[in-house]
Amino acid sequence: MPIITLFTVLILVLLIPELNPHHLLPQLERGARPVLQGSLVVDGWFSQLLLAVYVLPLVFLFPMLLCALAYIRIWFKGLGTSAK
């Protein structure tokens, strides 16, 4: 690990003479609209991924949940009839 850090720092130090801060400016020259338009595709993919991550486990657990609810209902009905 230290050797990777050493090489990274060495490369960054050697690149200092090549850096030109004028290439970084102006930021958002045409406003934020192009940035937001470029991020729409990524946002759509990410939202679909989150939806799948949250919903799919419930789809696979749904039959087990129905079975558990049926047992709970039978248990409570059994309590109600046995108390008479």
How many domains, in total, are found in the chain? 1
CA distances from 51 to 23, 36, 44, 45, 60 (A): 39, 22, 11, 10, 14
The answer as to whether 79 is a domain residue is yes
Which structure tokens are listed for 8?
């990274």
Structural domain contains residue 83: yes
**Structural domain harbouring 63:** 54-84
Evaluate if residue 62 carries a pLDDT over 60.
Answer: yes
pLDDT average, residue stretch 63-72: 81
What's the predicted TM-score (pTM) here?
0.37
Query: Contact at 8 Å (CB) between 30 and 37?
Result: no
Cβ atoms of 35 and 28 within 8 Å: the answer is yes
Tell me whether residue 31 is in a domain. no
| Structural domain contains residue 84 | yes
pLDDT digits (tens, 9 = 90+) for 18-43: 988 888 778 888 888 988 888 888 88
